[in-house]
């Protein structure tokens, strides 16, 4: 079967259990089992070729640009691990079917399990280190889900997060390491990398790469000091512990060390880091395991210890040690998985895993006892079981390891560790099963049905068979796998036997077994001492670190984003000024090459008014009304300045915008306190003053510098001046630019206006729909109200002015193309004409007489502009292409028509509608019932006359 299929089957099949759970738990489990079985059979079809020494490959280019390709290869090492993952996976699926209770969502469980399985298979088959990284992180993620499977258990959640954090961080470190390796070699393909030992080890980046990759391996394989997550991951359901935390995931780190062994191993750095870490982990794990009362914790620490053993063997860097490591990987998988399953069985029926509450189970659970006996003896390294064989190989290898010149240090520590592992293995047998039968078990211990015992029995069968016939059963596999680890092309000789004669390793074994037995007898007396001894509690430290970092980042983040707009703006100012100053200072600037104008009296007066008004705004800004008036002064002077500098269009626009804005602001001021409260401290005022003066100087300086020089190259405005009449049909270049040359900008800007208006409308609706409306209705005016809100004089004047104002608007509109004016200004003037009616007679009166809704005016304006633009499509020309001509209609003189005028009409309508809608929306805030009379003005002599007349008649 293709390697692609093998690797992807678990992923593809992961959907089935989740779906089929509706058809029952058996269907769900069976589908998971079938998927795994299919993949396993697929793997086995490739086995003969691999055992012959071939390497099966499958390649697809995925991202050749990055070097991330879906390349898989299957060699001995891959076959060994893939076989373990799929084979044990099958047993776990069977076991879990009977282990999980009816309440557990089993479909989810199998889905997660298959995802995990796929990720693991992916790791061991990857021929591309980037691909491998993907699968690597996937195992972290899927194991997060599996460990946290029992959502209601806090330990499960915490354990899941801890495992994710530790293994995930290792994985991220490994990304760095792998990318470095890829950069050194120039390829991310493993088979290529594995051929470049000298290149990699000679690189100055070898050590960082090694450290980063080992960080990934050590975290995954729970090596000291990253071992602490593994015991906490035991909160997972037992099938998960058996699968992930004994047989597969924790071996991923070992796998990777083995995989990279040909290029990374053999240096001093490798030996001292890997072998030492392994040794320390082995001893430490074994010691802690002995004093754990929770069965799963005991097994967890024993796993830590055994993983340390294998790491140490890989760290030795010798071929024999590597072979022993491979062999022990198989053996450990068989006995440890069986032990976890048996722990689950005990937990299931006795309802406790606490060794202190167990004992004497041999009478109640003879079958389980047999399983545990065989597996635990193998773990202790007692012949004739398989654990004995590999442990003896290990001890023999330690003898030849020299650590910093001391030849026996490693061996002695190894024996010390082995001694403890014998002790905890015996403890599992002795303290749980032997002794007197108790009467106070929380549950009713009994042997389980075949669903639960089949899998562990099969594994213990393997323990025995491998122990008795190692060479026949696993010999070829170990040989090809070790060959792949060593990777020098030489055939590996593997020959294990139970009896080697009286060699040092045997004596070491004997010491370990006897010593371990003695140690067990003393365990109950040592335990209180151990418990009393001070030692760092990893979880407490970890929680404190993570919690501390979380609250630190929360404090930092919330202090940084405290919501004070003035501070945000201050930072913006400082940053912008600094960057601009830097940019200016690092460039070169020529002297001003433009002649200065002579200083005449008019600009001086204007300048004095402008600065005077600005200073006054600063001085009197607390009085908002006054500030508004002063701002109006500033605006008017700017309009005058435009006029003085021969920009009548700008001046007209500025004046009309000024009028409308001030009216809108006055309306808004109606609802606001008339004075700005004093909130800033002196320091803050100083800061703000400095900043604003800096900003002013910066802006002023920039403008001064810009005005002092001519364009460095001819400006595009020359073109506009030349083509305005011939190409745009108008002599007012400003207007032609607005409606023709850059009509698209204008189109955008009228849309901005329109949006602004409907946003104001939407806010008004939102606010008036909330409880603010009540406050508005009941508000007390904070200033004296006018006795006569709608005075006669004003009403009459505005009525008279309305047609005149509209005429002016029309005039301004039509002359726009050739003289100052245009749709924008005309729209503002028309708006002012209508606004005056609102001001004179009130909102309600005016609204009653409104026939066209402002929404419609805005919409029609934008639409007319857009449709005018689209009209040119019919002539095959681009959007907004204008067209013009001259016609004579008797009795009028010849006059010009231009599509641009239609576009300008759109502008006119959009501006009119936008201003009016904004104004109307704001006016609605002010509305109170009974505020307006039904009459256009309060005092009307004619009405009074009529009333008097009626009274007289009456």
Partner 1 sequence: MMHLIVLPVVLPAILAPFIIMAIRHHMDLQRIFSLAGTVALVAITLTLLAQAATGDIQVYELGNWPAPFGIVLVLDRLSALMIALTALLGLAVLLYVIGTDWDLKGRHFHPLFQFQLMGVMGAFLTGDAFNLFVFFEVLLIASYGLMIHGGGARRLRAGVQYVVYNLLGSTLFLFALGTLYAVTGTLNMADLAERVAVLPADETALIRVGAVLLLVVFAIKAAVLPLHFWLPASYANAPMPVAALFAIMTKVGAYSILRMYTLVFGPDVGSTDGLVGDWLLPAALLTLGAGTLGILGARKIGKLVAFSAIASMGTLLIAISLFTEQATGAAIYYIIHSTFATGMMFLVADLIVSRRGGIIAPGTPMAQNGLIASLFFAGAIALSGMPPLSGFIGKLLVMDGARDADQWALIWGVILIASLVTVVGFARAGSLIFWKGYEAEPPDEGTQETHPAPTSALPFVAVFGLLAGLILLSVFAGPVHDYARATAGQLFDPQEYIGAVLRGGK
- The answer to whether residue 99 forms part of the interface with partner 1 (CB under 8 A) is no
Which helix (DSSP H) or strand (DSSP E) does residue 240 occupy?
A: helix 238-242
Q: How many residues does the chain have?
A: 954
Q: Which two tokens stand for residue 549?
A: 């970092």
The bridge status of strand 68-74 relative to strand 884-888 is unpaired
Interactions with partner 1, residue window 740-779 (CB under 8 A):
740-745, 747-749, 751-752, 754-756, 758-759, 761-763, 765-767, 769-770
Tokens 């999980």 correspond to 100
Options 55-63, 498-506, 612-620, 843-851: segment touching partner 1 (CB under 8 A): 55-63
* Backbone dihedral angles phi then psi of residue 933, each to the nearest 5 degrees: -90, 170
Options 240-248, 347-355, 504-512, 701-709: segment touching partner 1 (CB under 8 A): 701-709
Which helix (DSSP H) or strand (DSSP E) does residue 390 occupy?
A: helix 386-399
Interactions with partner 1, residue window 881-910 (CB under 8 A):
881-882
| Distance of alpha carbon 274 from alpha carbon 317, whole angstroms | 9
Q: Which CB, 66 or 800, lies closer to partner 1?
A: 66
Q: In this chain, which of 19, 493, 686, 705 binds partner 1, going by CB under 8 A?
A: 705
| Distance of alpha carbon 530 from alpha carbon 87, whole angstroms | 39
Q: Which CB, 592 or 803, lies closer to partner 1?
A: 592
| Distance of alpha carbon 840 from alpha carbon 860, whole angstroms | 28
In the complex, the smallest distance separating the C-beta of residue 466 from partner 1, rounded to whole angstroms, is 35
Q: Which two tokens stand for residue 143?
A: 């194991």
In the complex, the smallest distance separating the C-beta of residue 855 from partner 1, rounded to whole angstroms, is 5
In the complex, the smallest distance separating the C-beta of residue 370 from partner 1, rounded to whole angstroms, is 34
Given a contact cutoff of 8 angstroms between Cβ atoms, the answer to whether 301 and 285 are in contact is yes
Tokens 């799929």 correspond to 86
In the complex, the smallest distance separating the C-beta of residue 584 from partner 1, rounded to whole angstroms, is 5
- The answer to whether residue 727 forms part of the interface with partner 1 (CB under 8 A) is yes
Binding map of partner 1 across residues 859-878, x = CB under 8 A, - = no contact: xxxxx--xx-xx-xx---xx
- The answer to whether residue 451 forms part of the interface with partner 1 (CB under 8 A) is no
Q: In this chain, which of 23, 57, 61, 500 binds partner 1, going by CB under 8 A?
A: 61
Q: Which CB, 19 or 877, lies closer to partner 1?
A: 877
Q: In this chain, which of 21, 56, 113, 160 binds partner 1, going by CB under 8 A?
A: 160
Q: Which two tokens stand for residue 851?
A: 């026939």
In the complex, the smallest distance separating the C-beta of residue 11 from partner 1, rounded to whole angstroms, is 9
In the complex, the smallest distance separating the C-beta of residue 105 from partner 1, rounded to whole angstroms, is 7
Interactions with partner 1, residue window 237-266 (CB under 8 A):
none
Q: In this chain, which of 24, 41, 54, 154 binds partner 1, going by CB under 8 A?
A: 154
- The answer to whether residue 534 forms part of the interface with partner 1 (CB under 8 A) is no
Options 165-173, 536-544, 644-652, 822-830: segment touching partner 1 (CB under 8 A): 165-173
| Distance of alpha carbon 455 from alpha carbon 93, whole angstroms | 9
Q: In this chain, which of 536, 714, 930, 941 binds partner 1, going by CB under 8 A?
A: 714
Is the Cα dihedral 619, 621, 623, 624 positive or negative? positive
In the complex, the smallest distance separating the C-beta of residue 883 from partner 1, rounded to whole angstroms, is 10
In the complex, the smallest distance separating the C-beta of residue 555 from partner 1, rounded to whole angstroms, is 7
Could you tell me which of 252, 10, 247 has the C-alpha nearest to residue 111? Answer: 10
Could you tell me which of 510, 466, 441, 271 has the C-alpha nearest to residue 375? Answer: 466
Q: In this chain, which of 22, 436, 535, 561 binds partner 1, going by CB under 8 A?
A: 561
At residue 232, the 3 state secondary structure works out as helix
**First vs last C-alpha separation in the chain:** 112
Q: Which CB, 379 or 858, lies closer to partner 1?
A: 858
Site size for partner 1 (CB under 8 A): 131
Interactions with partner 1, residue window 535-554 (CB under 8 A):
546, 549-551, 553-554
Q: In this chain, which of 41, 49, 63, 686 binds partner 1, going by CB under 8 A?
A: 63
- The answer to whether residue 931 forms part of the interface with partner 1 (CB under 8 A) is no
Q: In this chain, which of 58, 134, 373, 399 binds partner 1, going by CB under 8 A?
A: 134
Given a contact cutoff of 8 angstroms between Cβ atoms, the answer to whether 750 and 918 are in contact is no
- The answer to whether residue 719 forms part of the interface with partner 1 (CB under 8 A) is yes
What is the phi-psi region of residue 417: left when phi exceeds 0, alpha when psi lies from -120 to 50, beta otherwise?
alpha
Q: Which CB, 173 or 346, lies closer to partner 1?
A: 173
| Distance of alpha carbon 910 from alpha carbon 916, whole angstroms | 10
Interactions with partner 1, residue window 664-683 (CB under 8 A):
none
The b/e string for 407-426 (b: 16+ C-beta within 10 A; e otherwise) is eeebbebbbbbbbbbbbbbb
Given a contact cutoff of 8 angstroms between Cβ atoms, the answer to whether 810 and 765 are in contact is no
Could you tell me which of 195, 196, 189, 190 has the C-alpha nearest to residue 61? Answer: 189
Options 246-254, 256-264, 571-579, 619-627: segment touching partner 1 (CB under 8 A): 571-579
Q: Which two tokens stand for residue 329?
A: 């990987």
Interactions with partner 1, residue window 310-369 (CB under 8 A):
none
Could you tell me which of 905, 904, 910, 908 has the C-alpha nearest to residue 728? Answer: 904
- The answer to whether residue 855 forms part of the interface with partner 1 (CB under 8 A) is yes
Options 423-431, 440-448, 577-585, 942-950: segment touching partner 1 (CB under 8 A): 577-585
At residue 63, the 3 state secondary structure works out as strand
Options 40-48, 137-145, 375-383, 809-817: segment touching partner 1 (CB under 8 A): 137-145
Q: In this chain, which of 531, 558, 782, 848 binds partner 1, going by CB under 8 A?
A: 558
Could you tell me which of 80, 86, 82, 83 has the C-alpha nearest to residue 32? Answer: 86
Q: Which CB, 583 or 954, lies closer to partner 1?
A: 583
Q: In this chain, which of 532, 716, 784, 892 binds partner 1, going by CB under 8 A?
A: 716
- The answer to whether residue 210 forms part of the interface with partner 1 (CB under 8 A) is no
Which helix (DSSP H) or strand (DSSP E) does residue 885 occupy?
A: strand 884-888
Interactions with partner 1, residue window 365-424 (CB under 8 A):
none
| Distance of alpha carbon 374 from alpha carbon 460, whole angstroms | 7
Q: In this chain, which of 404, 600, 646, 713 binds partner 1, going by CB under 8 A?
A: 713
| Distance of alpha carbon 369 from alpha carbon 432, whole angstroms | 9
Q: In this chain, which of 14, 32, 68, 374 binds partner 1, going by CB under 8 A?
A: 68
Q: In this chain, which of 152, 436, 525, 951 binds partner 1, going by CB under 8 A?
A: 152
Exposed/middle/buried for 531, CB within 10 Å: 0-12, 13-18, 19+?
exposed
Could you tell me which of 681, 327, 632 has the C-alpha nearest to residue 476? Answer: 327
- The answer to whether residue 690 forms part of the interface with partner 1 (CB under 8 A) is no
Given a contact cutoff of 8 angstroms between Cβ atoms, the answer to whether 326 and 76 are in contact is no
Q: In this chain, which of 339, 382, 631, 880 binds partner 1, going by CB under 8 A?
A: 880
In the complex, the smallest distance separating the C-beta of residue 852 from partner 1, rounded to whole angstroms, is 11
In the complex, the smallest distance separating the C-beta of residue 867 from partner 1, rounded to whole angstroms, is 8
In the complex, the smallest distance separating the C-beta of residue 400 from partner 1, rounded to whole angstroms, is 38
In the complex, the smallest distance separating the C-beta of residue 661 from partner 1, rounded to whole angstroms, is 15
Kindly write down the DSSP assignment for every residue of 535-580, as one continuous string. ---HHHHHHHHHHHHHHHHHHHHHHHT---HHHHHHHHHHHHHHHH
In the complex, the smallest distance separating the C-beta of residue 914 from partner 1, rounded to whole angstroms, is 11
In the complex, the smallest distance separating the C-beta of residue 577 from partner 1, rounded to whole angstroms, is 10
In the complex, the smallest distance separating the C-beta of residue 176 from partner 1, rounded to whole angstroms, is 5
The b/e string for 866-890 (b: 16+ C-beta within 10 A; e otherwise) is bebbebbeeeeeeebebebeeeeee
Q: Which CB, 404 or 593, lies closer to partner 1?
A: 593
Q: Which two tokens stand for residue 693?
A: 């003066």
């Amino acid at each position: 079967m293709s390697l692609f299929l093998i690797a992807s089957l678990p992923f593809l099949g992961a959907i089935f259990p989740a779906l089929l759970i509706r058809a029952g738990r058996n269907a769900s489990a069976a589908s998971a089992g079938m998927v795994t079985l299919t993949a396993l059979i697929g793997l086995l079809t490739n086995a003969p070729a691999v055992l012959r020494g071939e390497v099966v490959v499958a390649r697809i280019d995925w991202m050749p640009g990055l070097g991330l390709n879906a390349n898989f290869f299957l060699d001995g090492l891959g076959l060994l691990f893939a076989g373990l993952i799929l084979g044990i996976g099958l047993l776990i699926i069977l076991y879990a079917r009977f282990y999980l209770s009816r309440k557990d969502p089993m479909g989810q469980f199998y889905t997660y399990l298959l995802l995990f399985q796929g990720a693991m298979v992916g790791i061991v088959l990857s021929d591309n280190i980037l691909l491998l990284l993907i699968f690597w992180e996937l195992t972290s993620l899927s194991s997060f889900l599996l460990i946290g499977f029992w959502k209601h258990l806090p330990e499960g959640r915490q354990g899941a997060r801890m495992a994710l954090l530790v293994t995930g961080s290792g994985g991220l470190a490994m990304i760095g390491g792998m990318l470095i390796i890829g950069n050194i070699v120039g390829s991310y393909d493993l088979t290529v990398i594995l051929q470049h030992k000298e290149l990699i080890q000679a690189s100055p980046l070898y050590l960082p790469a090694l450290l980063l990759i080992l960080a990934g391996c050590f975290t995954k394989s729970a090596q000291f000091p990253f071992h602490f997550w593994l015991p906490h991951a035991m909160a997972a359901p037992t099938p998960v512990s058996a699968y992930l935390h004994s047989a597969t995931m924790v071996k991923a780190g070992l796998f990777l060390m083995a995989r990279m062994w040909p290029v990374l191993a053999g240096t001093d750095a490798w030996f001292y880091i890997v072998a030492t870490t392994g040794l320390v982990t082995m001893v430490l794990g074994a010691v802690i395991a002995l004093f754990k009362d929770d069965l799963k914790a005991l097994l967890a620490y024993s796993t830590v210890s055994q993983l340390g053993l294998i790491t140490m063997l890989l760290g030795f860097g010798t071929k024999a040690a590597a072979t022993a490591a491979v062999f022990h990987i198989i053996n450990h998988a068989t006995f440890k998985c069986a032990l976890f399953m048996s722990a689950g069985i005990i937990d299931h029926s006795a309802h406790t895993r606490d060794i202190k509450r167990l004992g004497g189970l041999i009478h109640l659970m003879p079958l389980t006892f047999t399983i545990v006996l065989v597996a635990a003896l193998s773990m202790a390294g007692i012949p004739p079981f398989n654990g004995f064989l590999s442990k003896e190989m290990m001890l023999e290898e330690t003898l030849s390891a020299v650590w910093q010149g001391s030849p026996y240090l490693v061996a002695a520590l190894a024996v010390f560790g082995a001694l403890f592992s014998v002790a905890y293995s015996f403890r599992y047998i002795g303290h749980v099963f032997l002794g007197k039968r108790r009467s106070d078990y929380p549950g009713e211990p009994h042997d389980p049905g075949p669903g639960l015992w089949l899998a562990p029995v099969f594994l213990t069968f393997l323990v025995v068979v491998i122990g008795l016939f190692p060479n026949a059963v696993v010999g070829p596999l170990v040989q090809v796998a070790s060959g792949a680890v060593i990777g020098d092309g030489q055939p590996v000789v593997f020959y294990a036997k139970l009896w080697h004669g009286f060699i040092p390793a045997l004596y070491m074994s004997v010491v370990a077994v006897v010593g371990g037995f003695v140690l067990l007898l003393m365990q109950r007396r040592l335990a209180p001492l151990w418990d009393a001894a001070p030692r760092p509690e990893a979880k407490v430290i970890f929680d404190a670190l993570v919690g501390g970092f979380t609250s630190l980042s929360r404090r930092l983040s919330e202090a940084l984003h405290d919501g004070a707009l003035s501070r945000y703006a201050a930072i913006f100012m400082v940053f912008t000024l600094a960057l601009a100053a830097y940019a200016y200072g690092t460039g070169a600037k020529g002297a001003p090459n433009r002649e200065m104008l002579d200083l005449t009296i008019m600009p001086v007066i204007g300048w004095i008014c402008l600065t005077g008004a600005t200073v006054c705004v600063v001085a009197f800004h607390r009085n908002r009304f006054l500030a508004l008036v002063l701002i109006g002064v500033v605006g008017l002077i700017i309009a005058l300045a435009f006029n003085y500098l021969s920009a009548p269009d700008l001046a007209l626009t500025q004046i009309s915008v000024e009028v409308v804005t001030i009216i809108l602001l006055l309306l808004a001021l109606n609802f606001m306190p008339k004075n700005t409260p004093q909130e800033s401290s002196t320091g803050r005022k100083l800061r703000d003053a400095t900043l604003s003066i800096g900003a002013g100087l910066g802006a002023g300086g920039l403008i001064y510098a810009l005005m002092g020089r001519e364009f460095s190259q001819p400006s595009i405005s020359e073109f506009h001046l030349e083509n305005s009449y011939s190409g745009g049909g108008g002599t007012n270049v400003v207007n032609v630019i607005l409606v023709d040359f850059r009509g698209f900008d204008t189109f955008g800007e009228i849309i901005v206006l329109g949006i602004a208006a409907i946003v104001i409308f939407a806010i008004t609706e939102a606010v008036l729909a909330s409880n603010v409306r009540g406050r508005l209705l009941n508000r007390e005016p904070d200033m004296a109200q006018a006795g006569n809100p709608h005075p006669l004089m004003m009403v009459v004047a505005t009525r008279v002015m309305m047609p005149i104002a509209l005429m002016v608007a029309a005039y301004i509109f039509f002359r726009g193309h050739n003289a100052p004016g245009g749709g924008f200004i005309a729209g503002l003037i028309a708006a002012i004409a209508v606004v005056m009616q609102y001001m004179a007679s009130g909102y309600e009166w005016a609204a009653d007489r409104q026939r066209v809704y402002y929404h419609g005016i805005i919409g029609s304006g934008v639409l007319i502009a857009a449709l005018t633009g689209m009209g040119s499509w019919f002539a095959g020309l681009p959007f907004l292409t204008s067209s013009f001509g001259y016609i004579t209609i008797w009795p009028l003189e010849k006059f010009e028509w231009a599509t641009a005028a239609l576009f300008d009409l759109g502008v006119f309508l959009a501006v009119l509608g936008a201003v009016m809608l904004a104004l109307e929306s704001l006016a609605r805030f002010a509305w109170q019932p009974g505020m307006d009379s039904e009459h256009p003005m309060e005092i009307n002599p004619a009405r009074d006359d009529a009333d008097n007349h009626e009274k007289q008649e009456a």
